[in-house]
Chains A and B, each alone.
Chain A
Amino acid sequence: MNNEEMPSRQIRDWPKLLGWIAVPAVLLVVWQLSAMHVNKPYIFPPVSHVFGQLAHPLRDHYACGSLLGNTLISLLRVLLGFLLAAVIGIALGVLMGAVRTIRGLVEPTIEVLRPLCPIAWLPFAIVVFKLNSLAGLLGMKYGHPILDQIKLGMIFVIFVGGFFPVLTNTLDGVVGVRRNYLLLAQTLGANRRQVFLHVLLPASMPMILTGLRQGIGLCWFVIIAAEMMTGADSGIGYLLMYAADNAAMDIVIAAMMIIGGIGASLAFAMRQIMAGTMQWQGKEV
């Protein structure tokens, strides 16, 4: 049975295979040829220039740091903002799902704030948090080379980006837990705390993880805008804008490819993490 399925699955997978190799290859060739034809690298750089930049990720640009260094700073900011969004989003989501009073009190406000694009919070964040960084928050008088780069305003905007998907998915997950499982746990002798720990949480885990996946995607999405805020002087988004001002389109496109690549990797990683926990989802019997 399995042996018969193998070749047919391989045949069916050919679009995927081409999608990973042939389509990007064709695009790169078209790009290279048209760039050579245009012949204005400061407007439309050829593939070779962009890959030249990607091949030297440690090269400093305009004394703003390298591609790699700025990428790492962006990642650090995103992970911090995302962590904050995850912790607060899950906690509030579970509380709202489990306690009607809290849901009633909080939900209207959430519904009004949710449709706001996270970037709309940027001016607000700049005014409120000014240029304060994590180093300042931790009471470091003379600053710190890395923690100084973690501006609170950026963290706030990234937090807003990740918070709502985590919250709403967690809430949906907790509210959607089948009453049967709660009853079953009760008949099997679980007390309230045990029902929460052993039924409510695992039963809503697929939705919580979905929220986290969407959340980290949005956080990464928002970082680029956040790094354009006044006073920012590092990060892959900042480098992208700075290079654009200096007509270095090869760096701009290299930065775009890095941003896209990392976004895809984050999504892939989340999917891998979820795969084990989610295997029962949609198969309730």
Chain B
Amino acid sequence: MKAPTRGYDLEEKPVALDVRGVSKTFRSEAGKNVTALQNVNLIVQQGDFVTLVGATGCGKTTLLNLIAGLDTPDTGSVNLSDGLRFGDNIAYVFQHYTLFPWRTALGNVAFALQMCGMPRRQRKRKADELLRKVGLAGFENAYPHELSGGMRQRAAIAQALAMQPKLLLMDEPFGAVDDSTRSELQQMLTNLWQENHTTILFVTHNIDEAIVLGSRVLVFTERPGRIVREFNIDLPRPRNRMTQEFTDLFVQIRQSLSEQLD
């Protein structure tokens, strides 16, 4: 679990995550072997906001699971920088079932705090503050099924932030909400990132979303899943979708995705 000391250190920012030569094969229900990941290499620097874009079902979730420590790679290694520990400061926001349905919004946000033994009153205060931060003040006592899709994802982000993560993994967290809610959530996440400087690895199949959010966009292709291209996005935030640069990037990414389909 040592920080890599290879020649990547061209920029000063320390490396948070180093994925080297990772492959993973699953056996499908039909008994065929499916290569979810093939020789994936990926470096994420501390404070980076990296988006992974690619078609649904191309192994992006598998990669996140490996990084989160929920699964182990067949070959290669996942190296986390010192101090990054699963179940401690790596948070993971899923697309579905992101909240415990038997807990209120407040109870969900306070979950991580409760697990590390914070006293009730203190964790209530912290959870209240986090809910306010994601715009859910007044919904403390609502159950997940009483919240809209967008509100649930806000609560899920607050739940993840409660553990003060150094690395935030997000698996298509805004995949199930309508467009205007999605833009609001993207804006909120950008603001939170600029405030906290949390390292974020964000998976999406939406090219527009990848460009709006990421400081780097990695293009992922399917079967076998691997990273084929990388774009540095240095457009000013909040990002304007109507600019020429934005649309140029969009077209480039779209092209590199469709090249892989042929």
Residues of A within 8 A of B (CB): 178, 180-181, 183-191, 194, 198-199, 202-203, 205, 277, 279-280, 283-285
Contact = CB atoms under 8 A, between A and B. Distances in A.
Interface in B212-250: none
Contacts of A189: 87-88, 112, 115-116, 163
Given A283-B101, A284-B97, A185 B111 contact: yes
Interface string B92-123: 10101111111100000001101110000000
B253 interface: no
Is chain A's binding surface mostly helix, strand, loop or mixed?
helix
A202 B100 CA distance: 9
Nearest to A201: B102
Contacts of A183: 70, 92, 94
B197 interface: no
Contacts of A205: 102
- Which of A180, A199, A202, A285 gathers the greatest number of chain B CB atoms within 10 Å? A285
Given A184-B92, A280-B143, 14 more contacts: A180-B94, A180-B96, A184-B100, A186-B87, A187-B70, A187-B87, A188-B162, A189-B112, A189-B115, A189-B116, A198-B115, A202-B100, A285-B97, A285-B152
Given A189-B116, A280-B102, A180 B97 contact: yes
A229 to B, nearest CB: 42
* Residues of B in contact with A, size category: 20 to 34
Nearest to A183: B70
Contacts of B90: 187
A189 B113 CA distance: 9
Closest 3 pairs (CB-CB, A-B): A283-B145, A280-B101, A180-B97
B163 A181 contact: no
B62 interface: no
Contacts of A186: 70, 87
Given A198-B111, A280-B144, A187 B91 contact: yes
B159 A188 contact: yes
A279 B92 CA distance: 27
Given A178-B97, A285-B97, A285-B144, A202 B116 contact: no
A202 B114 CA distance: 15
A173 to B, nearest CB: 12
B170 to A, nearest CB: 12
B68 interface: yes
B86 interface: yes
A187 B92 contact: yes
